[in-house]
Chain A
Amino acid sequence: MSRRHQNFRNYRQEQRLTQQRVFAAAIFVLLMAIVLMARLFYLQVVEHELYQTKANDNRVMLVTEPPPRGLIYDRNGLVLADNRPIHSLTVIPERVGSFPKLKKMLSSIIDISDSEWEDFDERRKEYRRPYQSLTLKSQLTDEEWAKVSVDLYKLDGVQVEAQLTRYYPYGEAFAHAIGYVGRITSKDLKRVDKLAYQGALFIGKTGVEGYYEKTLFGEAGLSKVEVNARGRIMSELERQNPTPGKDLHLYLDARLQQYAYDLLGDYTGSVVAIDPTTGGILALVSKPGYDPNLFVRGISVDDYATLRQSKKLPLFNRALRGGYPPASTIKPFMGLAGLEYGFSSWTERYFAKGYYQINPDGRRYRDWKRTGHGWIDLERSIIESVDTYYYQLANKMGITPIHNFLTRFGFGQTNLLDLNGESHGLLPSNEWKKAKYKEPWYPGDSVNVGIGQGFMVATPVQIASATSALASKGHFFYPRMTKLVGDQPAEFEGGLGDEHDIVLKDQRNWDRMIDAMRKVVTDSHGTARRLRGTDYDIAGKTGTGQVFSLQEDEEYDSDKLEKRLHDHALFIGFAPAKNPKISVFAIFENGGSSSKPADLTRALFDAYLHDDYPARYDYLKGNKDD
């Protein structure tokens, strides 16, 4: 058989050799089989729990269902913040064959901006669960929706999803009061439950929307579903329905709000109206406003730049954060302070020259009336707004009693119960000046504060709260936006408490001061005598706040000054004087004369007290059903 070595071959030995090798191989096979079993043991016994969790994470998905957001109503049942269905174009990236192709096809159907694509591409690259849809373009117009729907069958992975979005029907006049919702940022997610907001489109940012975010949001529905690898839901394992957000019923009167906004005309400024019997805010106006709908699904860079760069600062909430000298509107409070601490009385008379001097040779603090007012008393000092009276009163009192007394009216502190972002203003004190300027408090500093100027700064909300407290004779309500949450009276957090009483040593002083303020309107020398002729009593006080400091002997001449340096025009008032239902603070920035805010206030009183608004506001009437 074999050709070579035939005689030398030992077949048996060769067979044994191969058999030995087969045996060695058998042992090798056995060892390797043990290796496999050991590996399976490791995965299936040692690491079993880890992989079981992984398998469950794969198959079980938590799907959150955003609850419908609570609506916001004004006092007459008018919807100020509504939910509207919108359609968004969403894409499941895993189902898309080729993105360049998709881009080309989609752009032939509807407009999708570069920034929308960029945004989408960015989110697509982030880690996320496979087969989850991503929004490419939100808020399709009806036309876009129709166009895309026709071609949807051609577009793999593209779908149109219906969602609820927020809508503010009445726009800019309400923006600073209601606020707005906007896209959820990573910063927002730090303060809320991430899971609950999964699938939510937006979160309350400012105003009532921001403050009541939790209440308005409700509770997200949660369902545990079993999905396959392509994200398809195979079965529902558990389900918890969403709890809709609670509706808010505000004190706000939409007609009053819009009317006040319109009455400001082309001026920038603010109006805050409060019901003195409840502390409820009837109007909270900061002009100019902006369209809050711009923010709902993310404002465009251009729109935002326009708002940011406008000299009129539309994004600035003047009502909450505007710092103004209260000017002569502080005088009724200053007068009460003098009475409280015994530095003035209703009977004591004072000769008012055209100026006041602390020392005979010192600086002359001028009265608005060059010729002076002659012999006057406290009441007349209110009626005619005599500056020199308050110069001397403040100088006599010094800053500490002023500080203590005005603190009781909410100056120098935040007062709003249910809006964020309010500023403290500035109610100066000895300590404050020492800390800030490392200088003692000078008598001249008090003199300026006496007429609500100098260091003193107050916000419209503060002055309005103080006015409301005066109107209700010392019943200080912290102002609030919301009357009802759902069908329950609103409850407020924080240590402030809802209200407190300012009790004067002589409570009769309230009536006397209110009467003096009534005479501001009725007296023939009253600074607001232009408001005479109402069938109800108005108590009020005018004010003009200096924007621009005049030199000692300089005359204020509005014609020579740029408009932005014109005095701010202020007015506080409430009506009916005896039993007030509404108190108002109004400021026209650089409005010059206080006639403008006085007229505005009267118009609001007329409308509110008689429920008689111009017909053009009928659309804001609501359907008062309670």
Chain B
Amino acid sequence: MTDSFYRRALSFTNARLWKLVHVDVLLMGALLLLICGGLFVLYSASGQNVAMVERQIFRLIIGLLICVALAQLPPKYMRRASPMLFIFIAVLLVGVLLFGVGAKGAQRWLALPGGLRFQPSEIMKIVMPMMIAWYFSDRQLPPSFKQILVVLGLIALPVLMIAKQPDLGTSLLVAVSGVFVLFLAGLGWRYILGAAALAPIAGYTLWQFMHDYQRQRVLTFLNPESDPLGSGWNIIQSKTAIGSGGIYGKGFLEGTQAQLDFLPESHTDFIIAVLAEEFGMLGCGVLILAYLLVIARGLYIAANAEDNYARLLAGSLTLTFFVYMFVNIGMVSGILPVVGVPLPLVSYGGTSIITIMATFGILMSIQTHKRAR
């Protein structure tokens, strides 16, 4: 059904021209829809800070440029570069652990000459699925038990290093992006069910590895009222913002929680609460729909990609994008613990925009470099 919808939509555009510049019109259209809506919300969430919105626009433009640039690169080069990239980033992660800089007890960045900072774990979000997809690219699917073990090892290595920085949110997302490849590669359902059964044990192990502030986040998630002025404040205030918005919202710039600063991190991680307060459930529905359009197009590209590598990579990147959105909205609305995951393409902030736009560059490349049948 979606398939025919896109086909029909495509016929209204000049398909050839776009294919020439390797831009997937539908994906780009959905992204722009999302980005514009996001800027609108950011304007309100930042307290009508035009300078902040301008900086965000600037970043988005850089992101779009990277997206289009990457789209020019045929997938086969990506595939070939995958193992080298993976090793390179993994080495950088070791470097972060040894020489990293950062704040709040976590070291996540590598300092580059010229005062620039660089976060290898962010790149790993893309390189991880590339690596696993590469691994399966010349192997027969579904994967054998031995292959599964190898892949899990490949996933675990960088994930543990990122978790050690410590950056639990990113490490989980990196792990997820790898596991998605495994799933798309046809990981047997019995393994999936088995893993689900083992999840509680894994959870306990994870708890043992957690830092105090991370445990605190989980505890606060389970019972935010336990510390209403301390760590529970964020979640109580965001739920209040969302709930008080009702169906239609309080109106643009009229959200009392957001505009009177009761809502913390309102322009970054908790930006969805601003939307929910000012535009209500209707506004949130439109935003989620925009995300679903992007994801639907991404999955379409994956399903119709040329080879295993492209299919697995496109599928994993799209699903990871969905996980970003789900984890963020879930955390802000109080069904998931507060982990520092921004709302993709809407939250204010640099690094994540670049990596996400790079993701969509890869998807466009996969879609537009197919040989004509």
- Interface residues of A, Cβ cutoff 8 Å to B: 1-5, 8-9, 14-15, 17-19, 21-23, 25-26, 29-30, 32-33, 35-37, 39-41, 43-45, 47-48, 50-52, 54-56, 58-59, 130, 226-230, 234
C-alpha spacing A112/B5, complex, angstroms:
76
- A22 and B247 form a contact (CB under 8 A): no
A18 in contact with B138 given A58-B257, A230-B261 (CB within 8 Å):
no
Alpha-carbon separation in the docked complex, A50 to B141 (Å)? 52
B175 within 8 A of A: no
Give which listed residue, B184, B242, B244, contacts A22 with CB less than 8 A.
B184
Number of interface residues of B (CB under 8 A): 51
- Report chain A residues within 8 Å CB of B256: 55-56, 58-59, 226
* Cα A228 to Cα B242 with chains together (Å): 18
For this complex, 24 residue pairs linking A to B, each with C-beta atoms less than 8 Å apart, are A5-B140, A18-B185, A18-B186, A21-B315, A22-B302, A25-B299, A29-B295, A36-B326, A37-B284, A39-B333, A40-B284, A43-B242, A44-B276, A48-B247, A51-B240, A51-B241, A51-B244, A52-B243, A52-B244, A54-B244, A55-B256, A58-B260, A228-B261, A229-B260
Q: Is there contact, CB below 8 Å, between B288 and A58?
A: no
Contact status B186-A17, CB under 8 Å = yes
Q: Mark B228-268, 1 if CB is under 8 A from A, else 0.
A: 01000000010111111111000000001100111000000
Which of A40, A52, A229 has the most chain B CB atoms closer than 10 A to its own CB? A40
A542 to B111, CA, bound (A): 101
The reply to whether the CB of B43 lies closer than 8 angstroms to some CB of chain A is no
Q: Which of B229, B308, B315, B333 contacts A40 (CB 8 A)?
A: B333
Q: What is the CA–CA distance of A58 and B186 in the complex, to the nearest angstrom?
A: 51
* A137 → chain B closest CB, angstroms: 25
Additional pairs, 8, CB under 8 Å, beyond known A25-B183, A44-B276: A14-B308, A18-B186, A22-B315, A44-B243, A51-B240, A55-B243, A56-B256, A130-B229
Contact between B243 and A48 (Cβ–Cβ < 8 Å)?
Answer: yes
Does B292 lie at the interface of the complex (its beta carbon under 8 Å from any beta carbon of A)? yes
Q: Is the CB of B246 within 8 A of A15?
A: no
Query: Do B140 and A8 have beta carbons less than 8 Å apart?
Result: yes
Asked whether A54 lies within 8 Å of B243 as measured between CB atoms, the reply is: yes
In the complex, what residue of chain B is closest to A129 when comparing beta carbons? B229
Q: What residue in chain A is nearest B329 (Cβ atoms)?
A: A36
CB proximity of A27 to chain B, nearest CB, Å: 10
Q: Tell me whether B183 and A50 are in contact (CB under 8 A).
A: no
Measured CB to CB, the nearest residue on chain B to A57 is B240
Q: Indicate if the CB atoms of B186 and A21 lie closer than 8 Å.
A: yes
Bound CA–CA A363/B237 (angstroms):
87
Q: Point out the residues of chain A lying under 8 angstroms from B334, CB to CB.
A: 39, 43
A175 → chain B closest CB, angstroms = 43
Chain B nearest CB from A267 CB (Å) reads: 59
Closest chain A residue to B248, Cβ basis: A44
Taken together as a complex, chains A and B put the C-alpha atoms of A37 and B285 apart, in Å, by 7
Whether B127 is near chain A, meaning CB under 8 Å from some CB there, is no
- Of chain B, the residue at the smallest CB distance from A47 is B243
Closest CB of chain A to B328's CB: distance in Å? Answer: 10
Nearest opposing residue in chain A for B322, CB measure? A29
Of residues 279 through 310 on chain B, the ones whose CB sits less than 8 Å from some CB of chain A are 280-281, 284-285, 288, 291-292, 295-296, 299, 302-303, 308
Would you give the shortest CB distance from A378 to chain B, in whole angstroms? Answer: 80
| B244–A48 CB distance below 8 A | yes
Report how far A1 CA is from B80 CA in the complex, Å.
13
Closest to B242 in A: A43
- A171 vs B308: C-alpha distance when bound (angstroms): 96
- With the chains together, A5 CA to B147 CA distance in Å? 15
The answer to the question of B22 belonging to the interface, with a C-beta cut-off of 8 Å to chain A, is no
B140 touches A55 (CB 8 A): no
Provide the B133-153 mask, 1 if CB < 8 A to any CB of A, else 0: 000001111100000000000
Contacts of B142 in A (CB 8 A): 17
Question: Is there an interface contact between A18 and B315, defined as CB atoms closer than 8 Å?
Answer: yes
Is the C-beta of B222 less than 8 angstroms from some C-beta in chain A?
no
Kindly list the 5 A-B residue pairs having the minimum CB-CB distance in the complex, ordered from nearest. Answer: A51-B243, A55-B244, A229-B261, A228-B260, A43-B243
Q: Are B260 and A44 in contact (CB under 8 A)?
A: no
Closest partner residue, chain A, to B264 (CB atom): A229
The chain A residue with its CB closest to the CB of B301 is A22
Contact of A1 among B138, B276, B319, B335 (CB under 8 A): B138
Q: How far is the CA of A59 from the CA of B263 in the complex (A)?
A: 11
Residues in B neighbouring A1, C-beta threshold 8 A: 138
Report chain A residues within 8 Å CB of B138. Answer: 1-4
Q: A18-B184, A36-B329, A58-B256 are in contact. Are A44 and B247 (CB under 8 A)?
A: yes
Are A40 and B240 in touch, CB under 8 angstroms? no
Task: Enumerate chain B residues within 8 angstroms of A51, measured Cβ to Cβ.
Answer: 239-244
A36 touches B260 (CB 8 A): no
Q: Which residues of B contact A18 (CB under 8 A)?
A: 141, 184-186, 302-303, 308, 311-312, 315
